[in-house]
Amino acid sequence: MEASSGSFSEDGDDPLARLAELHPGGVAALRRAGIVARGCTDAALLDLCLDHCDALLAGGDPPRAPRDERERAFVEFAEQFATSVATVSDAQIDALREHMDDIDVYRFVEALYALELTRRVELVAPTVLPRATRGAL
């Protein structure tokens, strides 16, 4: 899955389609949150971080490595966020603050949360809500 698309699998299927049939308002809210999130922060940096989170969750390699200290700090934070948000360290937050002020760090984290949450729903929805169970629901 490409990080920038965020809503379609490699085979072109929308992984949220089944969930949208059952709860269209929830899926619409997820998609709106993603659109708003991208407009609140550095979208290219966010996409790089999401690429790394996607690769981490899928057990693969991200499409590219961070190019500088700023990207490294944000990717490291995003990977920790995706792995265990409870163990994000003060040092990781301080590293972000070297490149953005507090409000922009907050906006980045908020955007990452919204889009990473959507990614996780996209990963689990096809398994939890397979089309074969349509009649049973």
> Which among 14, 20, 73 has a CA at the least distance from the CA of 49?
73
Question: What is the H or E stretch that residue 129 is in?
Answer: none
Residue with tokens 């790089």: 48
Neighbours of 14 (CB within 10 A): 15
Label residues 104-128 b or e (16+ Cβ within 10 Å = b): ebebbbebbebbbebbebbbebbee
Q: How does pLDDT run along the chain (137 residues), one tens digit per residue?
A: 333 344 444 555 788 888 888 889 999 999 999 999 999 999 999 999 999 999 998 889 999 999 999 999 999 999 999 999 999 999 999 999 999 999 999 999 999 999 999 888 888 888 888 764 444 44
